[in-house]
Amino acid sequence: MDTFNLDDFDDPPPPPRFLYKYLSADRVGNVLEGGTVRFTPMLDTNDTFEVRSTFDKLAGPKMLAMLSEKMDSTLSEDSVRKLTADMMKENGLDFMPPELALQIAEQHYGGNFMGLLRAQMQQAVVTMLVPHFNDPENAKKLLEKLGRDLLCFSLSERMDSPPMWAHYAENNAGFVVAFDTAHNWFRQRKNGKKTRLQKVAYFDGKLDEPLDNPQAAFVSKTTDWTYEREWRLYIKNGEADLTVGSADDPIQLLEFPPEAVDRVILGAKTRPDVAMRIRETMASRYPNARVMRAVPNSESHTYDEVPE
């Protein structure tokens, strides 16, 4: 599990061009003026059931097929010959060619040494690894470790959601930052062409195993949260640029480039002093970004963006 990396999903869906962060007025300082955003451990998000069992078993048929394929590649003739040579060298028997050692093993085990190795490894997987993986307590520990080790930064597809303005932007008195997902800050480090953003799946049931849908297994919430239309960036614990707060409640922050901000949208109830502070910060730190205002639309029951 130490090698688990959400960037490894093969085909993450492309994000919308702009994603939105809803914020309360007191976040002007650390976000806009400080140029940082908070990454929260998954165990500490506002969803009590964020880290939950989304699958019946860890090791199902797809996992077993993958392990079998790995074993076949590991037990190729070249790899076994190299492993044999290494073992003989460690035991002072490197005077004997590996081919001769393998020939002796073939004679001793009835001419199918490679097949016997594969069968024994398959049996070990079935009798030892699978029960360990599928033990509910071990699955729970794995999820809790994932919840501690992975930190997320959440964004929404929409800037005009009334529940989002109410819940995350101080009941319309806060603001929204519109991030440009085409900026390199959102690209994978190992593959600059792929996005780092992961779309949250919403479902209430369970998968048979995580490999049925890795994103739904590890990047999902129940359908009660569908209105958020959430996308996420992830980092591992310890990768933040700055940690503030107390030792008991650390707040981990990551810096973002000013060029990643397309615009800032003031709420319908944003106080004049807060709005002035935002405008001044935008002029000095984000000269290419716009300041807009969210105006309630009584017909659509959403918000329109108008220039400030």
Taking only the tens place, the pLDDT of each residue in 162-188 is 999 999 999 999 999 999 999 999 987
Q: Are residues 235 and 120 in the same domain?
A: no
Taking only the tens place, the pLDDT of each residue in 23-71 is 999 999 999 999 999 999 887 887 777 777 787 777 778 877 777 776 6
Q: Are residues 41 and 113 in the same domain?
A: no
Residue 140 lies in a domain: no
Residue 231 lies in a domain: yes
pLDDT of residue 272: 97
Please state the domain count of the chain. Answer: 2
Mean pLDDT, all residues of the chain: 82
Q: Is the pLDDT of residue 5 over 50?
A: no
Taking only the tens place, the pLDDT of each residue in 255-289 is 999 999 999 999 999 999 999 999 999 999 999 99
Q: How many CA atoms lie within 13 A of 264 on its CB side?
A: 31
Chosen domain end from 103, 133, 163: 133
Residue 7 lies in a domain: no
Comparison of pLDDT for 112 and 58, the residue scoring more: 58
Q: Are residues 97 and 67 in the same domain?
A: yes
Q: Are residues 233 and 116 in the same domain?
A: no
Q: Is the pLDDT of residue 110 over 90?
A: no
Domain that holds residue 234: 13-55+151-307
pTM: 0.76
Comparison of pLDDT for 73 and 206, the residue scoring more: 206
Residue 217 lies in a domain: yes
pLDDT of residue 260: 97
pLDDT of residue 1: 34
pLDDT of residue 88: 55
Residue 8 lies in a domain: no
Residue 87 lies in a domain: yes
